[in-house]
Each structure stands twice: as structure tokens, then as C-alpha cells.
């Protein structure tokens, strides 16, 4: 029974649950909790899938008489399980390496081209007219970069809002949240839910950073900065990415902070998907498996 | 002691402004501060070449250094990465403040901004 139930839970967590969450709008009312929920879903789906594979493999060779077909199926299931694990591990290693390498290169270039600005440590001004603001997150050597054009078209309050937003990204390591979603997406690109997880996580971390800026400057400077800095040229291929900026403005307009009810619901769901299958199925199965493998 | 990063910046700028490849001695003479050691400049150039930012060619017993990429090429590399909000760079190396939007979306956003500002004014 355990292999079947774990498999079912794995499937539910990998497909319908993320689809539902990805199309829901309530996560935007509780971004912090929603991020945690996405991460719990991912971890729980992985654990359930790996657990289902191991449980099935063990069941095939321990229940009833051994037949050639069952032994072959045993190895096939083990192999499939190993493929899932290896894909994840491989994705983790390559994404982490690529991200560090690209970020390191970009930081080197920033440090060569951009000038320091006394306004904030880690702030660099790039002599370019196109108004752009971005950050290169890092544990120790983060950079916040504004172009000269951005600096010139932002008022003092608006600049503060942008800097608060970027510092929130940097200090709270939002990039790690995104990296987790990217790892999952890269490991299983054809599982559509990994794409909705990534897209929604990208918006959710922006909302979190907006909350920090909102707290520091109020809604209007942040809204004005958003409008000013999104008016630049649209690079090729980025159309159809969905307009997160409109969503961020709408949230500022309704001036809704974290919705406590929604947050509580998301935390409860996160705990359920993580702890439920583990305590209910995995732990009893591990104890059972231990007994089977150590009959003394 | 100046931070190494600042020295790398200055050395790169000298190389970019020069008409052709420079030797360590040339760079040393062009630097703003005159109390730099020859070995310091050599170390900086060596670091830059390990980062693929300068190329080194041998001429007789000395090495000549020139920038691997122009200043403009590096700037546009960075700007492309910064403006590419959903395209090729599917890593979280760089996080944008906002993505750029179409003119229609921009108009809708300006209206939202007016409403937010009006509400903030009322509250004040």
C-alpha cells in the first residue's frame, strides 16, 4: 500500500497542486508564506517520488514469490528512482556553478566600469543613459547597480525606494529562492509545474522586496520608480513574460500587506505536505523495511 | 595600500585609452600615483589576464598587454544582461528592479500610479 500511496502523493504534488497554486492569485496576498509553500511542495514531491520508487522496488522482491519478472521490475524501478535523484543532483551542481560564474563575471565587469557612489555601500553607477536598476546578489560582495540615466530620472524618495527594494533582495538572499526553482525547472523542464513554480517565485520575491521599500518610503515613491524604470526599451524575446510590474502596482494600490489568514493557510498547507507523508507513510515504511532487511 | 579592485580599474582604463598594447613599464608610468611598485602593476595585469580581460603578447623579453574587449563591448554585455528579463539568462545571477513593458501597459501603469498618489495625498 505504501508504494502506491507515496506514488499518488508524489504525482499530486508534482502536477495538480502546483498547477492550482500557479493559477491562484491568493499567494500574492501572502508572498512570504507562499514562497515557503512552493518550496515545501517541491521538497515533498521529490521525497514522495523517491520514496515511492524505493518502496516499490523493495515490495517487488519481498512480497510473495520471487520471479524473474519481479526481479527485473525491481531493478527497473530502482534505476528510474536513481535517474530522478541524479537529474536533481546534476541540475543543482550545474545551475549553482553557472550562476556563480556568470555573477562573478558580471561583478568583475561592474567593478571595472561603474563608479562607486557615496550614497550606499555596494552601490555602483554605470555611465549609461538607459534607465536600469539591478543587483548582483552575493553573500559578501553584493552590488546594486544603477545607470546614470536611472539616477537622473529618479527623485530622492524614489531612489530610496529602489535601493530599499534591491537591498531586500540582497540581504534576504531572494536569489537563493529563485535558484531553487531554477534547479527544479532545469532538472525536469518537461514537468510544466516546474515552470509555474519558477514564474510565480519570481513575482513573489519582487513583492517581498516591494514590501521592504513600501515600508521605508510609502507607496507613491515606489510606484513612481516602478513606472519610471519600466518605460525603457523592450529587449527582443522578453515579450510575453507576463507583466509582473502591473501586478506589483495593483498590490501597492490596494495597499494590502501580508494577509494573515492567507499566510496561516499557506503555512499550514506547507507543514501538511511536508510532515504528513513523512510521518504517515515514510517513517512506518522505513521501520518496516529495516525489519525486512535485518530479519534478526 | 589601495584596494586591488581600484588598481584593476585604473589599469584597465589606461589600457583602453592607449593607442596600442602597453608593457608593464608603460602602464606604471601612466598610473596616477607614482609610488606603485613595478611588481604591483605586473600582479594586477596578471590578474586581469587570468580573468580574460586583457590579452598578453610576447615581444622580445617583455610582455605587451592590451584589452581583450573594448569598454563599449563590456558595457553592452552588462546592459544586455540587465535588460534581458526573461530570455537567455535563466539563472538568478542578476535580479532586476523591474522589467520593461509595452506602451499600452505603461499607460495603464501610469493611471494606477495617479490613483496611488491621490490616495497617499488624501491620507496625508
pLDDT score of B81: 86
Residue A225 CB partners (closer than 8 Å, separation 6+): A154, A158, A159, A161, A162, A165, B97
Is A118 inside a domain boundary? yes
- Most B CBs within 10 A among A138, A227, A247, A256, hence the mutation to make, goes to A227
Helix (H, G, I), strand (E, B) or coil at A97: helix
Is A239 inside a domain boundary? no
Is A240 inside a domain boundary? no
Contact B65, B50 (CB under 8 A): no
> Cα–Cα distance between A226 and A219 in angstroms, integer?
11
> Cα–Cα distance between B33 and B47 in angstroms, integer?
20
Which residues of chain B make contact with A249, given a CB cutoff of 8 A? Answer: 109, 112-113, 116
Residue by residue, pLDDT tens for chain B (124 residues) are 567 788 999 999 999 999 999 999 999 999 988 788 999 999 999 999 999 999 999 988 889 999 999 999 999 989 888 887 654 456 777 888 888 788 888 888 899 999 999 988 887 7
> Cα–Cα distance between A242 and A246 in angstroms, integer?
9
- Tell me how many domains chain A contains: 1
Q: What is the mean pLDDT of each run of 10 residues along chain A (296 residues)?
A: 84 87 88 94 92 88 84 90 95 94 92 84 89 90 92 93 94 92 91 84 92 93 92 54 76 80 92 87 84 80
Is A238 inside a domain boundary? no
Residues 13-52 of A with CB under 8 A from B: none
What is the ipTM, given to two decimal places?
Answer: 0.86
Q: In this complex, is the C-beta atom of A212 within 8 Å of any C-beta atom belonging to chain B?
A: no
- Most B CBs within 10 A among A134, A159, A197, hence the mutation to make, goes to A134
Which residues span the domain enclosing A161? 2-233+245-293
- Most B CBs within 10 A among A116, A149, A235, A250, hence the mutation to make, goes to A235
* ∠ CA A85-A184-A3, rounded to 5°: 45
> Cα–Cα distance between A59 and A54 in angstroms, integer?
9
pLDDT score of A116: 87
* B98·A229 Cβ contact <8 A: yes
pTM for the complete prediction?
0.88
pLDDT score of A237: 44
CATH number of B4-67: 1.10.10.10
* B92·A99 Cβ contact <8 A: yes
Q: How far is B43 from chain A (nearest CA, A)?
A: 16
* B99·A255 Cβ contact <8 A: no
Within its chain, how far is the Cα of B99 from the centroid? 21
Q: In this complex, is the C-beta atom of A171 within 8 Å of any C-beta atom belonging to chain B?
A: no
pLDDT score of A240: 40
Q: In this complex, is the C-beta atom of B62 within 8 Å of any C-beta atom belonging to chain A?
A: no
DSSP state of A154: S
pLDDT score of A256: 66
Let me know if A35 is exposed, middle or buried by CB neighbors in 10 A (0-12, 13-18, 19+): buried
pLDDT score of A113: 94
> Cα–Cα distance between A226 and A80 in angstroms, integer?
47
* A132·B94 Cβ contact <8 A: no
- A-B contacts at Cβ under 8 angstroms: 177
Residue A79 CB partners (closer than 8 Å, separation 6+): none
Q: Which residue of B has its CA nearest to A92?
A: B91
pLDDT score of B32: 86
Rg (CA), chain B: 23
Which residues of chain B make contact with A238, given a CB cutoff of 8 A? Answer: 83-87, 99-100
Is A103 inside a domain boundary? yes
pLDDT score of B34: 77
* Identity of the residue in A113, A133, A248 whose CB atom sits nearest the CB atom of B78: A113
Q: In this complex, is the C-beta atom of B90 within 8 Å of any C-beta atom belonging to chain A?
A: yes
Residue ranges of domains in chain B: 4-67, 71-123
Amino acid at each position: 500500500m505504501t508504494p502506491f500511496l507515496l506514488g499518488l502523493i508524489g504525482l499530486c504534488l508534482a502536477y495538480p497542486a502546483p498547477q492550482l497554486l500557479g493559477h491562484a492569485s491568493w499567494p500574492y496576498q501572502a508572498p512570504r508564506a507562499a514562497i515557503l509553500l512552493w518550496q515545501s511542495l517541491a521538497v515533498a514531491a521529490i521525497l514522495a517520488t523517491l520514496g515511492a520508487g524505493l518502496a516499490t522496488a523493495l515490495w517487488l522482491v519481498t512480497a510473495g514469490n520471487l520471479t524473474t519478472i519481479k526481479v527485473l521490475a525491481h531493478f527497473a524501478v530502482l534505476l528510474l528512482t536513481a535517474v530522478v535523484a541524479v537529474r536533481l543532483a546534476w541540475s543543482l551542481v550545474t545551475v549553482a556553478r553557472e550562476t556563480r560564474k556568470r555573477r562573478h563575471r558580471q561583478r568583475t565587469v561592474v567593478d571595472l566600469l561603474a563608479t562607486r557612489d557615496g550614497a550606499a555601500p555596494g552601490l555602483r553607477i554605470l555611465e549609461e543613459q538607459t534607465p536600469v536598476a539591478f543587483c548582483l546578489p552575493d553573500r559578501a560582495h553584493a552590488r546594486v547597480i544603477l545607470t546614470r540615466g536611472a539616477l537622473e530620472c529618479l527623485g530622492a524618495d524614489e531612489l530610496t525606494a529602489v535601493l530599499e527594494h534591491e537591498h531586500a533582495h540582497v540581504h534576504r538572499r531572494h536569489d537563493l529562492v529563485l535558484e531553487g526553482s531554477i534547479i527544479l525547472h532545469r532538472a525536469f523542464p518537461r514537468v510544466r509545474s516546474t515552470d509555474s513554480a519558477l514564474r510565480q517565485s519570481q513575482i513573489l520575491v519582487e513583492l517581498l522586496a516591494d514590501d521592504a521599500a513600501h515600508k521605508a518610503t510609502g507607496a507613491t515613491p515606489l510606484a513612481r520608480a516602478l513606472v519610471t524604470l519600466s518605460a525603457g526599451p523592450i529587449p527582443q524575446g522578453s515579450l510575453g513574460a507576463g507583466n509582473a510590474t502591473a501586478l506589483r502596482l495593483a498590490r501597492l494600490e490596494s495597499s494590502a500587506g501580508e494577509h494573515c489568514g492567507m499566510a496561516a493557510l499557506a503555512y499550514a498547507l506547507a507543514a501538511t505536505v511536508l510532515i504528513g507523508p513523512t510521518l504517515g507513510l515514510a517513517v512506518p515504511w522505513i521501520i518496516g523495511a529495516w525489519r525486512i532487511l535485518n530479519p534478526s | 595600500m589601495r584596494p586591488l579592485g581600484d588598481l584593476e580599474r585604473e589599469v584597465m582604463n589606461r589600457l583602453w585609452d592607449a593607442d596600442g598594447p602597453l608593457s608593464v613599464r608603460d602602464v606604471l608610468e601612466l598610473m596616477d600615483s607614482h609610488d606603485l611598485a613595478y611588481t604591483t602593476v605586473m600582479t594586477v595585469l596578471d590578474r586581469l589576464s587570468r580573468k580574460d580581460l586583457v590579452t598578453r603578447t610576447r615581444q622580445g623579453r617583455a610582455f605587451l598587454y592590451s584589452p581583450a574587449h573594448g569598454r563599449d563591448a563590456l558595457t553592452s554585455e552588462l546592459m544586455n544582461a540587465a535588460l534581458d528579463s526573461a530570455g537567455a539568462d535563466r539563472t538568478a545571477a542578476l535580479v532586476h528592479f523591474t522589467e520593461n513593458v509595452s506602451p499600452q501597459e505603461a499607460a495603464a501603469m501610469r493611471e494606477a500610479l495617479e490613483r496611488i498618489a491621490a490616495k497617499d495625498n488624501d491620507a496625508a
